[in-house]
């Protein structure tokens, strides 16, 4: 990735392009970007009627201002509310939203807006991919996680009893509006969880960015210009990967660093967010991916300790032992991992690493090694 942090800092508002030919779109980043949401959306979806999907928490905090901006641009819209939290990524909410979009008589050329975190974004995008075989949609991410990751790249979907995001579609948005001021109302636990995905970009392929985060994370949390820089650099990293490999035929799998273990953990606790939210699962999963890489003699203990120190410094969990309550045995984790979307012809794929910024995709990992490793981690 060429963009450097200082470059990103220069503009108060930054724009990152996701280059996908005719389906290219912009990510507009900065404090106050949402004030012009109406005009921005009208520019990409001229004449469209809209359904705005929002969760109950975000609706209370931000719906009024958002609707005012749409009204000012003359955008007729219906607001559809879903319960807050991971449990909304389910068939029931998917079906209800599809039905409500149809009841509002939105046409194929109309649009659906996701105003919220990754849950609302994934669910809404999936609805948009399905209703009338595909409607335009816009992402207005309101969590750090959604701004740096889930709103970009077109992975949409819901969870299944068998695992995370197992039902879904690739469906790219027409625009992403990441207003970093909206993060001021985000609870610290959710901000930290989103930060795990920020750190992920450094760990998977950008050691200088990880070093920058080690030095600047307090300013990122405090909400100064460093926060916008971290969001912009993360979006640029994701946009580069998605443009090169939209459908995850190869390199995009790197964005799954920590997710094989992390997703298994989320499913193992039945998506109970009191116990673990996605970003926390990713933090623990990234730590496990590093420890597993150490076990395979790909990295040394100094690298593992460096990663652990940074994630611990910011207050993220780093071990299965950090999850409250009893966890199921390794066999249950292995059953869930066997359903991971990266599995091919029954063979497990893991994102491993040779150092900070040097992750790689390893196919055909021996399940017995993974199982023994998980047993160790669940016992010690
Ligand atoms: N599609 C992708 O590429 C991708 C990438 C990463 C994660 N995800 C998915 O994203 C989901 C997690 O997203 P998340 O961490 O944003 O969770 P979330 O959407 O549940 O949001 C977290 C909490 O923050 C609240 N909230 C949202 N914005 C707020 C604001 N500005 N102020 C106050 N409260 C606010 C929400 O109501 C919720 O309670 C997971 O389902 C994960 O699988 C998808
Ligand atoms: O965009 C991607 O590709 C990612 O892997 C980003 C992840 O952070 C995200 O959690 C994604 O939803 C996981 O993808 P999945 O295919 O494993 O469900
Ligand atoms: Zn993720």
Question: In terms of domains, do 308 and 344 share one?
Answer: yes
User: Domains in the chain: how many in total?
Assistant: 2
**What is the Å distance from ligand 1's center to 219 Cα?**
22
* Token pair recorded at residue 247: 């459908």
Domain stops at, among 185, 218, 244:
185
CB 128 within 8 A of CB 156: yes
Question: In terms of domains, do 173 and 69 share one?
Answer: yes
Closest CA to 230 of 38, 67, 3: 3
Cα 263 to Cα 258: distance, rounded to the nearest angstrom: 8
Residue ranges lining ligand 1, Cβ < 6 Å? 55, 57-58, 61, 84-86, 89, 116-120, 122, 142-143, 145-146, 149-150, 153, 155, 164-165, 182, 185-186, 190, 193-194, 277-279
Question: In terms of domains, do 179 and 192 share one?
Answer: no
Cα 139 to Cα 152: distance, rounded to the nearest angstrom: 8
Question: In terms of domains, do 176 and 262 share one?
Answer: no
Closest CA to 171 of 106, 238, 242: 242
Question: In terms of domains, do 16 and 144 share one?
Answer: yes
CB 29 within 8 A of CB 231: yes
Cα 331 to Cα 135: distance, rounded to the nearest angstrom: 41
Question: Which run of H or E residues covers position 138?
Answer: strand 136-141
Question: In terms of domains, do 75 and 96 share one?
Answer: yes
pTM of the model: 0.96
Question: In terms of domains, do 147 and 11 share one?
Answer: yes
Domain stops at, among 185, 216, 244:
185
Domain stops at, among 127, 159, 185:
185
Which of the residues 233, 252, 310, 341 is marked catalytic? 252
Question: In terms of domains, do 317 and 177 share one?
Answer: no
Q: What is the CATH number of the domain that holds 287?
A: 1.20.1090.10
The answer on whether 118 is annotated among ligand-binding residues is: yes
Question: In terms of domains, do 226 and 329 share one?
Answer: yes
Question: In terms of domains, do 258 and 342 share one?
Answer: yes
Question: In terms of domains, do 255 and 289 share one?
Answer: yes
Question: In terms of domains, do 179 and 240 share one?
Answer: no
**What is the Å distance from ligand 1's center to 277 Cα?**
9
Residue ranges lining ligand 2, Cβ < 6 Å? 149, 153, 155, 164-165, 197, 248, 252, 255-256, 259, 341
Q: Which ligand is nearest to the Cα of residue 151, counting in written order?
A: 1
* Token pair recorded at residue 92: 């029931």
Cα 184 to Cα 293: distance, rounded to the nearest angstrom: 37
CB 11 within 8 A of CB 232: no
**What is the Å distance from ligand 3's center to 223 Cα?**
22
Which of the residues 31, 192, 227, 263 is marked catalytic? 263
Residuewise pLDDT in 10s, the chain (380 residues): 334 443 434 446 899 999 999 999 999 999 999 999 999 999 999 999 999 999 999 999 999 999 999 999 999 999 999 999 999 999 999 999 999 999 999 999 999 999 999 999 999 999 999 999 999 999 999 999 999 999 999 999 999 989 999 999 999 999 999 999 999 999 999 999 999 999 999 999 999 999 999 999 999 999 999 999 999 999 999 999 999 999 999 999 999 999 999 999 999 999 999 999 999 999 999 999 999 999 999 999 999 999 999 999 999 999 999 999 999 999 999 999 999 999 999 999 999 999 999 999 999 999 999 999 999 999 97
Q: Which residue has the tokens 């800092």?
A: 9
Q: What is the CATH number of the domain that holds 106?
A: 3.40.50.1970
The answer on whether 272 is annotated among ligand-binding residues is: no
Range of the domain at 129: 5-185
């Amino acid at each position: 990735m060429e963009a450097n942090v200082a470059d990103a800092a220069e503009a108060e508002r930054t724009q990152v392009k996701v280059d996908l030919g005719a389906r290219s779109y912009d990510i507009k980043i900065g404090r106050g970007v949402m004030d012009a949401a109406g005009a921005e959306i009208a520019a990409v979806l001229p004449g469209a009627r809209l359904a705005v999907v929002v969760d109950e928490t975000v609706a209370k905090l931000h719906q009024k201002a958002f609707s005012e901006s749409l009204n000012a641009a003359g955008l007729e819209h219906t607001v559809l509310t879903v319960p807050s939290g991971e449990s909304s990524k389910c068939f029931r909410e998917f079906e209800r939203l599809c039905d409500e979009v149809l009841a509002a008589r939105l046409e194929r050329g109309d649009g659906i807006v996701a105003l919220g975190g990754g849950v609302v974004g994934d669910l809404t995008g999936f609805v948009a991919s399905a209703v009338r075989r595909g409607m335009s949609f816009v992402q207005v991410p309101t969590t750090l996680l959604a701004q740096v990751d889930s709103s970009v790249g077109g992975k949409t979907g819901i969870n299944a009893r068998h695992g995370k995001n197992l039902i879904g579609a690739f469906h790219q948005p027409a625009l992403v509006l990441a207003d970093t001021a909206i993060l001021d109302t985000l609870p610290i636990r959710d901000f930290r969880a989103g930060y795990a995905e920020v750190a992920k970009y450094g760990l998977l392929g950008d050691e200088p960015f990880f070093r920058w985060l080690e030095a600047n994370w307090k300013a990122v949390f405090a909400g100064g210009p460093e926060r916008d820089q971290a969001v912009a650099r993360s979006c640029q990293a994701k946009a580069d990967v998605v443009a090169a490999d939209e459908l995850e035929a190869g390199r995009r799998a790197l964005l799954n660093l920590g997710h094989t273990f992390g997703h298994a953990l989320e499913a193992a606790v039945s998506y109970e967010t009191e116990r673990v939210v996605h970003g926390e699962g990713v933090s623990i999963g990234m730590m496990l991916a590093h420890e597993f890489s150490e076990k395979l003699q790909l990295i040394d203990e100094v690298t593992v300790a460096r990663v652990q120190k940074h994630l611990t410094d910011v207050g993220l969990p780093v071990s299965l032992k950090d999850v409250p309550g009893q966890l199921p045995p390794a066999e249950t984790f292995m059953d869930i991992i066997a359903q991971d979307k990266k599995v091919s012809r029954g063979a497990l794929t893991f994102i491993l690493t040779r150092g900070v910024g040097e992750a790689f995709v390893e196919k055909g990992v021996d399940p017995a090694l993974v199982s023994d490793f998980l047993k160790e981690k669940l016992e010690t």
